[in-house]
Amino acid sequence: MLRRRRRPGRRRLPAGAGYLPAAAIAAALILTAHLALRPVAQRIGRLPAAPDSEVETTYRFRAVTRAADEAHIRTLLVRELTGNDFVLRSVQSHDLDGGSGLVEVTAELQRHGRDDLALETAVSRLSLEPAVSSVTWTTTEAEPALLAAAEE
């Protein structure tokens, strides 16, 4: 008669080792925990995402100002927009056509999560400057799958 040798690293399960009652109790406990915690998991799944979620938001800011005040507005822009966990990616200035003496100052910022209120607060401070004639901003959110692919 041939004896079967056990392969190293292979364990016997409780039911296979003759512990059928213990295996039945363990299975019942697992099913009970699953059924009891299912409503909790569903409630958690319905909660809104936290503002500091994994989604990265890109903000684009634009201000039109007089050419003589461009340096002052750029300084205010950098000071106001770099707070509140915003990461300033770029600041650019372009003369507007037509010889009007106006300059467009643009900035691109990024932030983990979305906080429109913080950006609106900073933008509203800049719009109070007498040299600023218009202020606008837009936002885009990157897809989480695209973020994961970009990090690899």
Is 8 part of any domain? no
Nearest to 86 by CA among 123, 128, 132: 123
If asked whether residues 43 and 87 sit together in one domain, one would say no
If asked whether residues 34 and 91 sit together in one domain, one would say no
pLDDT digit string, tens, across residues 97-143:
777 889 999 999 888 777 788 888 888 888 888 888 899 999 876 55
Domain of 37? 14-47
Provide the domain count of the chain: 2
d(CA 139, CA 63): 15
If asked whether residues 66 and 123 sit together in one domain, one would say yes
pLDDT digit string, tens, across residues 7-23:
565 565 666 667 788 88
d(CA 139, CA 141): 7
Name the residue type at position 147: L
If asked whether residues 78 and 19 sit together in one domain, one would say no
If asked whether residues 130 and 78 sit together in one domain, one would say yes
Instruction: Report pTM.
Output: 0.56
CATH code: domain of residue 100: 3.30.70.260
